[in-house]
Chains A and B, each alone.
Chain A
Amino acid sequence: MIRRFLVLLVAVVLLAPVNGFAVQPDEVLDDPLLETRARAISHNLRCLVCQNQSIDDSDAELARDLRLLVRERLVAGDSDTDVINYIVARYGEFVLLRPVFALHTVLLWIAAPVFLLIGLVVVILGARRKRATAAAASDPKLTAEERKALERLAKD
């Protein structure tokens, strides 16, 4: 009884035609060069109804539509940028997995490098200050010879 139910279930769920799976063989373009470009573009476009998946990986209907659209535009002779602009004009910036560099994303793009730079500056200034305090605190009455001897020792 359970077995028959399960078989039925497989028939209903798996065989239903709506359940697509990522890139389909019938989507692939004949021209391998165009297809490579299409795949590269798809990797950077987000499937709008999925959770953080590119349309290249997604099995959603909408992702399939977008993949077909990308290929349609490429076949029509659009450049990669044209295609992306076309998709963004229709679906908004949200589809770009790699955000544009613009005023509202400038903080995003420069966050890590700026952090690194600030860190470097802080470290260098800190080290200098420490050196200065240490030098001031050390005995100033050393002779030139003693100082040289000290330096030699520090080098070892």
Chain B
Amino acid sequence: MIIELGHFAFVLAFALALAQTVAGFAFWQRGGAASHFVQQAAIMQFVLVGLAFAALVQAFMVSDFSVRLVYEHSHSIQPTLYKFTSVWGNHEGSMLLFVLTLALFGAGLAAFSRNLPDDLRTLVLSTQGLMVAAFSAFVLFTSNPFWRADPAPMDGTELNPILQDIGLAIHPPLLYLGYVGFSICFSFAVAALISGRIDAAWARWVRPWTLASWAFLTLGIAMGSYWAYYELGWGGWWFWDPVENASFMPWLAGTAMLHSAIVMEKRNALKIWTVFLAIITFSLSLLGTFLVRSGILTSVHSFASDPTRGTVILAMLAAFVGGAFLLFALRASALRSGGLFAPISREGALILNNLFLSAATAGVLVGTLYPLVLEALTGARITVGAPFFDVTFGALMVPLLLLIPFGPFLAWKRSDLVAVTQRLIGAIVATLVVTIIVFALMGFPVSLAPIGLGIGFWVMFGAIAEIADKGAIGRASLAQNWSRLKGLPRSVWSTAIAHFGVGVTVIGIVCATAFQTEIVTSMRQGESVEIAGYTVHYDGERLVEGPNYMAEQGAFRVTTPWNTTRGITSERRVYAVSRMPTTEAGINTYGFTQMYIQFGERFGAEGRVVRLWYKPYVLLIWLGSLIMAGAGFLSLTDRRMRIGAPQSARRKQSEPAQ
């Protein structure tokens, strides 16, 4: 009964979204009742989709196998958490989560947009409603999660064991909050093009939504990467898998948009470009959804794909993206862009940032789609894998990373590179010293690793230098430093912190790639093996029973170079229902460094294949991402986000705005 109520609520939400779209687009200039209706419809729609989602959750929690989706993707002996996450560990459920997120952002905008002019808000919500309607229709007609199975089966067929992990509880919802969150920026862009209202105020209204989506997407990608690292079992953390690329492209484009919107907000320039990026970013999210859901690309994520549904998504993709670009082509020329600026200026730096980020996005896009297109056109089959992306993407990132510290020091309109370099001299010297020390410690090898580390340190020191400079550290008394630092807008802090996080991630990547040690060996009970100064002792194996699996568990003891010893277990599991084997790596963490042990199959009479990785500073990769996302959320609390009107209060402060 509950599932039928959920189904009904979802149909209502679909109808409401249609009504909202039609009413909104028809009467957006009138304001008044139409505006209220659209707002309330957006909120009500979220409530209804939420009810539908809750009904499905309830069916999974009580293991109602009369619901076909529950039967296909859950089992009564699954732990409670995985019963819950099974809701979106499949195509239908994850599309419902997609619609829920779309509706959430629509409702969020309806609820928190007092500052928005009525006509703009109505247009944004109508566009958002159109997307909710389209994706609800997709769910209802091609991927309905509410169908019953008759007669009801006795028990289910289990969630894919690889997905039975806490990662599934965190990664997809975060990713969707980011990925789908960009839909609101898309709606803002469409609304701007229709109404012709596109100015600095528009940039300010979009900014919190861009920031929030970007921060969530950062978290989602980082979480997915860490999950793949510990679950897939060969210690890799980024595979340039097509589906990873699908989430990475919106991130790159979103990062570019985040930066270009600053120019638009402060200087009323780059308007056309920012609107274009807003459209592109969500288009890439949709493209990603299509690539993942259609199964057109082979990937580790193709646990739930169906080519026929892919066609429908492709049609929707074409309609939304095509429609938006048509609108763009018709209206963009009407937009006048503002302020002039010299090449060496904050604007110039942000444009350069955008050039590199969009070239990187284009490179990843071409690399992901090239094999498909080539095969379709010529029949030739090639693979574009990690080694290709490492080279082409890396080549674009190096200059961008080198330029990061300069950006925040440049003044708007016109700046002086020599003066900026002088203010960065501390960071430059520190970077050189640290890089040379690293080089010396490594014994001056013929290797790019110290240079890579140097780039990471440069970005970090540059961020510190920015804060030090703005706080007048070394140029004023401590009390003055303190009051200056306290007075800095949070957006300045978050810029520095986010850039610092980029540096941290770079250092993690370089260390984990260049300095990791790997040993593949066979071990018998009682034997030890030495890796990077650590001694790993194999204590033997036993059979353990989990709630829905059996596992062979290898027990190890790891003794560090400073003579502490800690146990570690690594498992090979077989899940009871699906009979699928999985591996659970054993991981010990020392500071930012990890010892990663993979328990392999039998080898000879008593031996076991054991693979060991020593991964120095690998955690910095994800720590840096957390710092970036944290900076995004910090920026959301900036004064100008809380207060809609241009800051008259700030002018009264002693410090003039730069």
Given contacts A10-B543, A20-B601, A98-B388, contact A46 B363 (CB under 8 A): no
**Residue interface bits B92-110, CB-to-A below 8 A is 1, else 0:** 0000000000000000000
Interface presence of A90 (CB below 8 A): no
Please count how many residues in chain B sit with their CB below 8 Å of the partner chain's CB atoms: 61
The reply to whether A13 and B387 contact each other, CB–CB distance below 8 Å, is no
B576 contacts A10, CB within 8 Å? Answer: no
CB nearest neighbor in A for B300: A51
* Min distance, Cβ A1 to any Cβ of chain B, angstroms: 12
Taking a contact as CB atoms under 8 Å apart, the answer to whether A130 and B340 are in contact is: yes
B355 near A116 with CB under 8 A, answer yes
Assess the B363–A112 pair: CB atoms within 8 A.
Answer: yes
Known: A9-B550, A99-B382. Contact between A19 and B581, CB under 8 A? Answer: yes
| A112-B299 in contact given A6-B576, A21-B600 (Cβ < 8 Å) | no
Which residues on the A side are within 8 Å of B362 (C-beta)? 111-112, 115
8 Å CB contacts to A: which residues of B308-358? 337, 340, 343, 351, 355-356, 358
In residues 76-134 of chain A, which contact B (Cβ within 8 Å)? 92-99, 104-105, 107-109, 111-113, 115-116, 119-120, 123, 127, 130-131, 134
Assembly CA distance A5 to B392 (angstroms): 51
A111 x B366 contact (CB < 8 A): yes
Smallest beta-carbon distance A131→chain B, Å: 7
Report whether B579 and A108 are in contact in the complex, using a CB–CB cutoff of 8 Å: no
State whether A52 and B299 are in contact (beta carbons under 8 Å apart), knowing that A6-B550, A97-B388, A113-B359 are contacts in the complex. Answer: yes
Nearest B residue to A19 via CB reads B601
A24-47 vs B, CB cutoff 8 Å, 1 = contact: the mask equals 111010000000000000011010
Cα(A80)–Cα(B304), bound, Å? 39
A127 contacts B609, C-beta separation under 8 Å: no
- Contact A28 B520, CB 8 Å, known A10-B574, A92-B381, A104-B374: yes
| Contact residues in A for B241 (Cβ distance below 8 Å) | 51-52
A14 to B545, CA, bound (A): 14
Does B385 sit at the interface, judged by CB under 8 A?
yes
**Structural contact, B340 and A93, CB atoms closer than 8 A:** no
B300–A52 contact, CB under 8 A? Answer: yes
Given known A3-B545, A52-B241, A115-B359, contact A93–B381 (CB-CB < 8 A): yes
Which B13-56 residues have C-beta < 8 A from chain A?
Answer: none
The reply to whether the CB of B197 lies closer than 8 angstroms to some CB of chain A is: no
Q: Does A61 contact B (CB under 8 A)?
A: no
Report B-chain residues with C-beta under 8 Å of the C-beta of A92. 381
| CB proximity of B416 to chain A, nearest CB, Å | 9
Report chain A residues within 8 Å CB of B359: 112-113, 115-116, 119
Name A100's closest neighbour in chain B (CB-CB).
B382
B611 touches A22 (CB 8 A): yes
Q: Are A98 and B387 also in contact (CB < 8 A) when A6-B545, A6-B550 are? A: yes
A52 to B243, CA, bound (A): 11
In whole Å, how far is B114's beta carbon from the nearest beta carbon of chain A? 36
Q: B234 on the interface (CB 8 Å rule)?
A: yes
Complex Cα–Cα for A7 and B574 (A): 10
> Closest CB of chain B to A31's CB: distance in Å?
16
Q: How far is the CA of A93 from the CA of B381 in the complex (A)?
A: 7
When C-beta atoms are compared, the residue in chain A nearest to B269 turns out to be A130
B388 contacts A99, C-beta separation under 8 Å: yes
Does B521 make an interface contact (CB < 8 A)? yes
Contacting A at CB under 8 A, from B385-419, are 385-388, 391-393, 395-396, 414
* A115-B385 in contact (CB<8A): no
Q: Establish whether residues B351 and A25, one from each chain, have CB atoms under 8 Å apart when the complex forms.
A: no
- Which residue of the partner chain, among B356, B367, B381, contacts A116 with CB atoms under 8 Å? B356
Please state if A13 and B382 are interface contacts (CB–CB under 8 Å).
no
Q: Does A136 contact B (CB under 8 A)?
A: no
Q: Min CB distance, B155 to chain A, in Å?
A: 12
B115 within 8 Å of A by Cβ?
A: no
User: Which B residue's beta carbon lies closest to that of A23?
Assistant: B520
Is B351 a contact partner of A123 (Cβ separation < 8 A)? yes
Residues of chain A lying within 8 A (CB to CB) of residue B382:
93-94, 96, 99, 104-105
In the complex, whether A152 has a CB less than 8 A from a CB of chain B is no
In the bound assembly, the distance between CA atoms of A51 and B295 in angstroms comes to 12
Chain A neighbourhood of B611, CB < 8 A: 21-23
Q: Is the CB of A155 within 8 A of B384?
A: no
Query: Contact: A94 with B520, CB < 8 Å?
Result: no
Would B300 and A107 count as touching, CB distance under 8 A? no
B362 to A, closest residue via Cβ? A115
Selected contact of A14 from candidates B370, B521, B574, CB within 8 Å: B574
Q: A3-B545, A51-B298 are in contact. Are A15 and B385 (CB under 8 A)?
A: no
A24 adjacent to B520 (CB under 8 Å): yes
Q: Is the CB of B579 within 8 A of A94?
A: no
B630: Cβ under 8 A from any A Cβ: no
Closest A residue to B363 by beta carbon equals A112
CB closest chain-A residue, reference B386: A97
Distance of A32 Cα from B520 Cα, bound (Å): 13
- Are A9 and B576 in touch, CB under 8 angstroms? yes
Instruction: Tell whether B647 is near chain A: CB-to-CB under 8 Å.
Output: no
Which residues of chain A are near B236, meaning CB under 8 Å? Answer: 57
Complex CA distance for A90 and B521, rounded to whole angstroms: 30
CB closest residue in chain A, given B341? A127
Within 8 A of B (CB), among A133-153: 134
A121 to chain B, nearest CB (A): 11
When distances are taken between beta carbons in the complex, the residues of chain A under 8 Å from B395 are 112-113
The answer to whether A94 and B383 touch across the interface, beta carbons within 8 angstroms, is yes
Contact of A46 among B367, B385, B392 (CB under 8 A): B385
Contact (A52, B242) CB under 8 Å given A13-B574, A93-B381: yes
Contact with A along B178-200 (1 / 0, CB 8 A): 00000000000000000000000
- Which of A52, A57, A112 makes the CB contact (< 8 A) with B392? A112
Set of chain B residues within 8 Å of A105, measured between Cβ atoms? 370, 374, 382
Most buried by B among A51, A57, A131: A51
Within the complex, the shortest CB–CB distance from A103 to chain B, in Å, comes to 10
Say yes or no: A57-B363 contact (C-beta < 8 A), given A93-B380, A98-B385, A108-B370: no
5 contacts between A and B (CB under 8 A): A6-B550, A10-B550, A14-B572, A99-B382, A115-B363
**Given A52-B298, A52-B383, 5 new contacts (CB under 8 A):** A94-B381, A107-B370, A108-B384, A108-B388, A123-B351
**Residues of B participating in the A interface, judged by any CB pair closer than 8 Å:** 234, 236, 239, 241-242, 298-300, 302, 337, 340, 343, 351, 355-356, 358-360, 362-363, 366-367, 370, 374, 378, 380-388, 391-393, 395-396, 414, 520-522, 543, 545, 549-552, 572, 574, 576, 579, 581, 598, 600-603, 609, 611
